[in-house]
Structure 1
Amino acid sequence: MADVGEAISEGISFISKVGAECDVLTSLLKQELSVLLSGSLIRGQVRPAGPWVDKFEKDAGGWIQTASAHSLPVIMQRKRSIGAYLFFQISLAGNGIAAQDNTQPLVHVGLWSLPVDFKNYWMGFPLFDLDDVEPELEEGVVFRWPMEGREWGEWTYSLRLAQINTIQDIHEKIVTPVKALLQGKRLPEVFAPNVQGIVRYVAVAEEVGHYRVLQPA
């Protein structure tokens, strides 16, 4: 029984450390993305329109935080009102990581018309139902939804959380790609060559809204 007790204590300690690291990552991402959107190089496309909207998800018992999402309201294309939300979602467990063959926590980064709330709107799998619009999956990396008459479209891509460890990672894997996507660029211009940790998906045949994660070579 002593071994069980030690395992419980070690598990709680480990979860606490992971949570603290996620908090640091969250603060850095908010800071770097806010700086990006306030910069002159992107001001014509999009600019911040308010504070970040923070939402959290817990497991069924309410003991453990399994995901967090942070959405920044933005004004698009020289409009005067909020037109979209730039977000990142850190998923440690639950349907945010439920793509087939995935066993790792993920960070989803995207631009959507509404903020993530974990009730009606979040990144998870299955990604869509029969009645929903199926997104384009660009080169297995970026999900893109139709523009429907707008000057911009919704998009999302995913990263392996464990491979975001430095400020350089944040810039190479999130800040620079977000800038490129907001400027309307498409792959392969979005990511620098040989960037590690980008999740590649493939649709699962005959299973609506389901995707499988391709393992790194």
Structure 2
Amino acid sequence: MSETGKAISAAVAYVSKVGVECEALAKLIKQELGELFRQGAVHSSYEPGEWSSSYRTDATGWVFSAAAWTVPLAAKGKPEATVHLAFQMSFLCDDAEGGFSPEPLLHINLWDAPTNVRSECYMGFEMSGISAKSMARLQDASARLFRWEAEEGAVEQWTYSLPLAALNNLDDIRSQVCAPVRMLLANVDDGEAALDDVPNAVSWSVKDGMAGFYQVVR
């Protein structure tokens, strides 16, 4: 067997293994977030629906470039006020749309619509409607939370990101996904402050000369 042939076999086997690991990670995240919805203030405030998923392939159609899992959260007492919590795995992020990240990212979103990587509703750039609070932090390269302007009385939408490879066990999921989500759902300002103490939370900055595009700075 040629060295090229062995390299191809090894690469395909590795990609397949990554897919298995990512699906297992997604299952654990959904389980842990499910537990979060059954306790404390989150349980008192929101009623979760059923999870849905979406997958996107790269331009060649050979491999997945992104995947997302989304659950609707209906505000208790106000069923018409439903938001959607999601986590999105983005594997190819080294371009303008991905934020010029050298490694895959996990985005955690709370939006008024489901995250769907096969449509136009997914975490990526170009981006508009960012709140003044986020823009100030993006200007000084310290933004760990994207926040969007919200109408009076509406739930504020947000996204934060983690290196996908930083989630290696159950404790990582609980400390880097569940704990920040719990705080952000309770109070966005407090949750944003808490993200500054999450070692792996990604920091973002503006991209000079590219309005609407932002880049990973660490």
TM over 0.5: yes
| 2:182 matched residue in structure 1 | 179
Residue 44 (structure 1) shift: 2.9
CA distance in 1, matches of 2:11, 2:97: 20
| 1:21 matched residue in structure 2 | 21
Residue 189 (structure 1) shift: 4.1
Contact 2:54 2:68 in 1 (8 A): yes
CA distance in 2, matches of 1:21, 1:97: 25
Contact 1:97 1:104 in 2 (8 A): no
| 1:66 matched residue in structure 2 | 65
Residue 198 (structure 1) shift: 1.2
Offset from partner CA, 1:84-122 (integer Å, 9 cap, x none): 10000011115697213x110000001000011221200
| Distance change in 2, residues 1:96/1:33 (3 Å) | farther
Contact 1:38 1:47 in 2 (8 A): no
| 1:116 matched residue in structure 2 | 115
| 1:32 matched residue in structure 2 | 32
Residue 82 (structure 1) shift: 5.4
Residue 21 (structure 1) shift: 0.8
CA distance in 1, matches of 2:202, 2:28: 21
User: Displaced runs of 4+ in structure 1, greater than 6 A?
Assistant: none
Q: Give SS of 1:38's match.
A: coil
| 2:91 matched residue in structure 1 | 92
CA distance in 2, matches of 1:87, 1:10: 32
Q: Do structure 1's residue 133 and structure 2's residue 129 form an aligned pair? A: yes
| Distance change in 2, residues 1:17/1:158 (3 Å) | same
Offset from partner CA, 1:31-76 (integer Å, 9 cap, x none): 111111122332233221x210100001122211111101101112
| 2:150 matched residue in structure 1 | 147
> What RMSD in Å do the two structures reach over aligned CA positions?
2.1
CA distance in 1, matches of 2:39, 2:25: 21
- Unaligned 5+ runs, structure 1: none
Contact 2:205 2:216 in 1 (8 A): yes
CA distance in 2, matches of 1:53, 1:82: 19
**One-letter amino acid of the structure 2 residue matched with residue 134 of structure 1:** I
Task: Provide TM-score, normalisation by structure 2.
Answer: 0.87
Percent identity, please. 31
Q: 1:207 aligns with which of 181, 188, 210?
A: 210
**One-letter amino acid of the structure 1 residue matched with residue 63 of structure 2:** I
Q: How many residues align?
A: 208
Residue 210 (structure 1) shift: 1.1
- Unaligned 5+ runs, structure 2: none
Contact 2:41 2:186 in 1 (8 A): no
CA distance in 1, matches of 2:35, 2:160: 21
**One-letter amino acid of the structure 1 residue matched with residue 130 of structure 2:** E
Task: Provide TM-score, normalisation by structure 1.
Answer: 0.88
| Distance change in 2, residues 1:192/1:144 (3 Å) | closer
| Distance change in 2, residues 1:142/1:20 (3 Å) | same
